[in-house]
Amino acid sequence: MSARHQFSAAAFRWQETDGNPDVVAGNCKAVTNAVRDIYAQDMTNVIFGDLYRRAYSLVLHKRGEELYSAVEAAMASEVQALVGSLAVAGPSGQSFLRELLATWRRHTAAVSAIRDIVMYMDRTFVPATGRTPVRELGLGLWRDGVVRSGRIRLRLVEAVRLEKARQEEDGVVGVPGSGDLVAGVTEMLTELGADVCHEFMEAPTVSS
Amino acid sequence: MAAAAQPHPLPPVPAEGAAPAAPPAAPPAASRPYELAVAAAELRPVDCNLAALCDHVQAEGFGSGAFSDVVVEAMGATYRLHRLIISRSTYFRNMLHGPWREAGAPTVVLQLDDSNVDSEAIAISLAYLYGQPPKLNDNNAFRVLAAASFLDLQGLCTICTDFIISELWTSNFLQYQLFAESQDYGSHGERVRNACWGYLCQSATLELREVLPKLSSQTLHALLTSDELWVPNEEKRFELALFALLAKVTVSDVEVSGNENLNLMASSPTVDPSMGKGKSLMNEIGEEQLMVSELQKVKLHDNGSKTAQNIIDVPSVIIPQNSISYSIPQNAEASNRMENDTSTGGPSAESTSYQFNENLWHSSEPTKNYFSRTSSSNGLVPSEWGRPTAPLWGGRVVGRRQVRCVSGSSSLSADEYNAFMNIFERGSLLYCNMSFDALLSVRKQLEEFEFPCKAVNDGLWLQMLLCHRVQAIVADTCRNCCLTSNSCACKQAYVNTHSHYRQEHDRTSASGTAGSIYLGDAQGDVRIHNVRGAVDGLAGIGRGNSNVPGAAWAPTRYVFSRVPYGLGSRNGQQSFANDEAEPRVDHNGDIPGDGLTALVNLSQESSASHHQTESIFEAGMQTRYSGAASVSTPGGSSLQMQESKEHEPGSSWESTDNATISLDTRTPLSHFPPFRFGVEFEDVHRLGDGQVKHSPEVFYAGSLWKVSVQAFNDEDPHGRRTLGLFLHRRKAELLDPLRKAHMYIDPREKVTARYQLICPSKREVMIFGSLKQAGTLLPKAPKGWGWRTAILFDELADLLQGGSLRVAAVVQLV
């Protein structure tokens, strides 16, 4: 029995454990396509079992590096696209805040879905190589790519200031939803990090 | 009556147990307080309920698929399961909860790309979700681990890993090693890998020896390089590496030729098991035989070349003996072995076919240029003196040798070749800790494979320098306080005489004859420069049977540019062929600094035979400067110069990789490579309290070293029995008067050293001490220094291999 063991182990070594480059590329492509579809909220072609298997197989065969950079790049480009859509969104004030929060929720849902797909990467490859976990990666992209990006930052500060001012004008009974907006923004900023929240919430009060 | 007395204290117990009317099968513990017993009794119905639920879920749910709300298809099997239960697995929970298409689907197909997973493994994993404990064995444990890893069942993964580690033996080692190495199973794979590594470090020298050639070159490299590898001494480490190399060459041949057969085996798993077994066994045996014959061939080679070398290379043998007064117990053993070989086996046909090809080395080109340059340059260019000296000793080349060329057309992959190049040539093997006899044999064997042997040559010089340095420190150390003269407040008379003495000698050296490259100077030190690519240093000392002309040798890193004294005054006109070994041995280790005599002799030889070697020098230089020229040797093999240039750096222990290494007599000891040895203690688990076991002693840097273990029962705060690990050092003694020349003595009572004691095992690799620390002043001779609570007796069972504890020691004098 032991002889057979050794033998099967030897046969096992000849297997191309690195994975066929075509297969690797195909798996990466499938995952990046899924990232795109998830952000687009088009789930017709997104099959969890298939994607999880592909991502798992990549990491299992030590292609975590490829997968990680593919996912990272895909997410970054999707976030960039979101920024573009926000930039053209309503002029300012409430509509902007609503648009921003809706986009934010879309983003977090997408990140969470992506995280589910690449869970094995998050569990093995990420800690082993000291990378940023996918969730933190998503937060970082949103923080640096959206909230802190030049135009949106200014518009956000302005919108929040306007909202607050309006709340004060209207007294306790505010326009339905407006208080939720500020609360939502605060929540988002808190999730991005305590310092980020300070950065935005302190600044307007000081200036005003 | 005792029997009558016994029941008396007992009555309260049954009474207590009977009160809650619990099932009779579980009588409570007698010592338990009443309240606890009641609490337990109240819990018991809940336990029963849980057990009943578990049974129900297992039997009704998993067993018969009652009320199933999801069907899982995997590997051809269909399971009628329940969303609630299978969502214990993160994989299923994410799948059934997320925004996915299959979230609400009645059927889920489990897709897997992992060849380790089979349907049994999936069944076990799914049953685990329903509370069934996995039934693991040697064949399915890793498969279940793979399936559980995919389904993200961390608990099951841990169970499998624990099982694998506890059942890791020589028979299945390779299977698990490859399993953990070739795929990434995260932290669980890491655990298996670590266990394999520890087991490998512990047993590679003996039990797992046959496995070595089947390891990946990365693992093999890491292993043979590692301090954690338990191996008795550096010679044995070399033997192990050579064995691996030979076996690897053979195995790859077999693989190339026998691929078809093996593939057939692989693709037909339905073959009758016994037949398959027989077949593969035969295959194994065939490999062994091949390997053995290969080894024999090389051994025979050695014999042949040994005799040849005895005749021709006498000067080369003499020189370092002069200065390396060095001997360790294994030393004698090694030489004994060599003698045995010579007596049993005769030289093989190939090995005797030396061609004396003197003409090759004679050159019509004038050599005056070289002489004038070196004699006037006052040590600035003298690095040239040490170019390949092989031609000096007969100038012969070996022709028509049927040696496997490692670098050329061999069956080794580039990866493997690099691994072995690293092992043999880039500081992985600490040649300087080998005996001289062993070094000669090592070099011969490496030359068979056309390794440049540069590291071996460096080893000789490091050895010599270490001896020199130790003696210098000894001379500089106060005998009272064991501190060097700088920090010692005692009298310094000894030191003064010593330096005076050396100055005297320096004077004499100035009058040296023979136009040697060495120029004495009043400082009386030896400086070694790192010579990168430009010059062959001392390569070729004692070189006997080189089959590569000098030009192909890789440059040595060290070149002695100055030598203090004794230049030619003693043996000035000696010709290189002189074989009077004995007269030169007369001045050995007793006089500090005398180890350098070897250099002197050598320089005379090189100067005496410049006429012969000059042309080779020039040729060699040109080749080297031109870079990647391929030098083809008379033996028909070729060696890429590019290769030899690559492994110049990395000699220094302290990873001064790109800086110029300047080793001289003032180089701190901490810049020398440490000394490694391995010891084994049998039956340590039977040690009584306070009992001690000592290992045999080994020689290093003028001292004898050993490790001891001692059992304690009063060291652990929790009262557990512990096993202490200690390092002992005492000054060397001349054990054998005949071998006096090989030994030098560090007579200090105490020395400062840093050291590590390492216990590799599949449980973990326990490391005590650090080589990064400043150093410990070791206590006087009979005492040891170490860790009294190093190992708990409870955990010994996991640490022993065949009942014995293996400890690898790394020591560095500082």
| CB atoms B95 and A52 under 8 Å | yes
pLDDT-derived band of residue B530, with 50, 70 and 90 as boundaries? very low
Q: Flag whether residue A154 sits within 8 Å of chain B, measured between CB atoms.
A: no
Contacts of B98 in chain A (CB under 8 A): 48, 113, 116
pLDDT in tens, B542-575: 333 333 333 333 333 333 322 233 333 333 333 3
Number of residues in chain B: 814
3-state SS string for B50-101: HHHHHHHHHHHHHHCCCCCCEEEEECCEEEEECHHHHCCCHHHHHHHHCCCH
How many Å lie between the alpha carbon of B171 and the closest alpha carbon of chain A?
6
Higher pLDDT, B741 or B339: B741
- For residue B445, pLDDT over 50 is answered with yes
Half-sphere exposure of A72 (CA within 13 A, CB side): 15
| CB atoms B185 and A124 under 8 Å | yes
| CB atoms A7 and B100 under 8 Å | no
Partners of residue B108 on adjacent β-strands: B72
What pLDDT, on the 0 to 100 scale, is given for residue B549? 34
Place of tokens 């054990």: B735
pLDDT-derived band of residue B427, with 50, 70 and 90 as boundaries? confident
pLDDT in tens, B474-519: 887 766 666 666 666 655 444 444 444 444 344 433 333 333 333 3
Partners of residue B777 on adjacent β-strands: B752
In order of A119, B211, B630, B673, B713, the CA distances from B417 in angstroms are 38, 18, 18, 24, 51
pLDDT in tens, B400-415: 333 344 444 456 777 8
What pLDDT, on the 0 to 100 scale, is given for residue B767? 92
| CB atoms B183 and A62 under 8 Å | yes
Which of A37, A117, A124, A125 has the most B C-beta neighbours within 10 Å, making it the best mutation to test the interface with B? A124
Which of B139, B182, B254, B282 has the most A C-beta neighbours within 10 Å, making it the best mutation to test the interface with A? B182
- Span B583-592, mean pLDDT? 34
pLDDT in tens, A11-34: 333 344 455 788 889 999 999 999
Q: Flag whether residue B591 sits within 8 Å of chain A, measured between CB atoms.
A: no
Higher pLDDT, B112 or B319: B112
Rounded CA-CA distance B99/B550 in Å is 72
pTM for the whole structure:
0.64
pLDDT-derived band of residue A125, with 50, 70 and 90 as boundaries? very high
Q: Flag whether residue B280 sits within 8 Å of chain A, measured between CB atoms.
A: yes
Contacts of A64 in chain B (CB under 8 A): 184
Which of B70, B91, B263, B284 has the most A C-beta neighbours within 10 Å, making it the best mutation to test the interface with A? B91
Nearest of B544, B550, B591, B343 to residue B444 by alpha carbon: B544
Contacts of A48 in chain B (CB under 8 A): 94-95, 98, 100-103
Contacts of A120 in chain B (CB under 8 A): 149-150, 152, 186
Rounded CA-CA distance B655/B376 in Å is 35
Architecture of domain A3-201: Up-down Bundle (1.20)
> Which residues of chain B from 115 to 154 reach within 8 Å of chain A, CB to CB?
115, 138, 149-150, 152
How many Å lie between the alpha carbon of A183 and the closest alpha carbon of chain B?
27
Which of B73, B110, B113, B138 has the most A C-beta neighbours within 10 Å, making it the best mutation to test the interface with A? B113
Half-sphere exposure of B208 (CA within 13 A, CB side): 28
- Span B669-688, mean pLDDT? 88
What pLDDT, on the 0 to 100 scale, is given for residue A177? 54
Task: Indicate the average pLDDT of chain A.
Answer: 80
| CB atoms B101 and A47 under 8 Å | yes
How many Å lie between the alpha carbon of B177 and the closest alpha carbon of chain A?
9
- For residue A204, pLDDT over 60 is answered with no
List the single residue in A5, A7, A52 with the smallest CB-CB distance to B171. A5
Pairing label, strands B70-74, B107-109? parallel
Q: Are B194 and B157 in contact (CB under 8 A)?
A: no
> Which residues of chain B from 38 to 97 reach within 8 Å of chain A, CB to CB?
90-91, 94-95
How many Å lie between the alpha carbon of A63 and the closest alpha carbon of chain B?
9
- For residue B32, pLDDT over 80 is answered with no
- Span B441-460, mean pLDDT? 83
List the single residue in A53, A59, A61 with the smallest CB-CB distance to B111. A53
Half-sphere exposure of B675 (CA within 13 A, CB side): 24
Residue B773, number of CB atoms within 10 A of its CB: 11
**Range with the lowest mean pLDDT among A44-48, B326-330, B379-383?**
B379-383
| CB atoms A4 and B99 under 8 Å | no
| CB atoms A60 and B183 under 8 Å | yes
List the single residue in B95, B185, B280 with the smallest CB-CB distance to A4. B280
Q: Flag whether residue A164 sits within 8 Å of chain B, measured between CB atoms.
A: no
- For residue A44, pLDDT over 50 is answered with yes
- For residue B768, pLDDT over 70 is answered with yes
Q: Are A112 and A136 in contact (CB under 8 A)?
A: no
List the single residue in A46, A53, A119 with the smallest CB-CB distance to B113. A53
List the single residue in B103, B111, B263 with the smallest CB-CB distance to A50. B111
What pLDDT, on the 0 to 100 scale, is given for residue B685? 85
List the single residue in A7, A48, A60 with the smallest CB-CB distance to B95. A48
How many Å lie between the alpha carbon of B224 and the closest alpha carbon of chain A?
21
pLDDT-derived band of residue A89, with 50, 70 and 90 as boundaries? low
Tokens of B86: 């299978």
Q: Are B537 and B457 in contact (CB under 8 A)?
A: yes
Residue of A nearest to B261 (CA): A11
What pLDDT, on the 0 to 100 scale, is given for residue B89? 94
Which of B87, B175, B179 has the most A C-beta neighbours within 10 Å, making it the best mutation to test the interface with A? B175
Rounded CA-CA distance B169/B207 in Å is 10
Q: Flag whether residue A120 sits within 8 Å of chain B, measured between CB atoms.
A: yes
Residue of A nearest to B153 (CA): A120
pLDDT in tens, A132-153: 999 999 999 998 888 887 778 8
Pairing label, strands B804-813, B675-682? antiparallel
Task: Indicate the average pLDDT of chain B.
Answer: 64
pLDDT in tens, B299-353: 434 333 333 333 333 333 333 333 333 333 444 343 444 433 333 333 333 333 3
3-state SS string for B323-336: HCCCCCHHHHHHHH
Residue of A nearest to B186 (CA): A124
- Phi then psi for residue B701, to 5 deg, are 50, 50
Contacts of A53 in chain B (CB under 8 A): 111-113
pLDDT-derived band of residue A108, with 50, 70 and 90 as boundaries? very high
Q: Flag whether residue B187 sits within 8 Å of chain A, measured between CB atoms.
A: yes
Prediction ipTM score: 0.86
Q: How do the domains of chain A map onto residue ranges?
A: 3-201
